[in-house]
């Protein structure tokens, strides 16, 4: 008797990223992220794990872009 295949699972949108993923999503190195971005965003600390809310990254990018263009 074969098992019925389960339906495909939809990708789950990410709410938080690691600092490495956050840096990659901005197109910068982790060093640049730590120097220029991290001081301006709230971090979520879970033991040794550090996460960045995607909304924080978007807010930082919007504000940083507006300052540059102003």
**Span 7-46, pLDDT tens digits:** 888 999 999 999 999 999 999 999 999 999 999 999 999 9
Pull the structure tokens for residue 36: 């220029």
Pull the structure tokens for residue 19: 């600092």
Query: pTM of the predicted model, to two decimals?
Result: 0.78
CA dihedral 56, 14, 32, 42 (to 10 degrees): 30
Assign domain 16-69 one CATH number from 2.30.30, 3.40.50, 1.10.10, 1.25.40.
1.10.10
17 by Cβ neighbours in 10 Å (0-12 / 13-18 / 19+) ranks as middle
């Amino acid at each position: 008797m074969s098992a019925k295949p389960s339906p495909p699972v939809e990708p789950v949108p990410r709410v938080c990223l690691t600092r490495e993923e956050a840096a990659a999503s901005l197109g910068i190195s982790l060093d640049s992220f730590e120097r220029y971005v991290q001081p301006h965003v709230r971090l979520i600390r879970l033991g040794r794990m550090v996460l960045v809310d995607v909304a924080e990254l978007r807010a930082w990018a919007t504000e940083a872009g507006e300052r540059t263009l102003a």
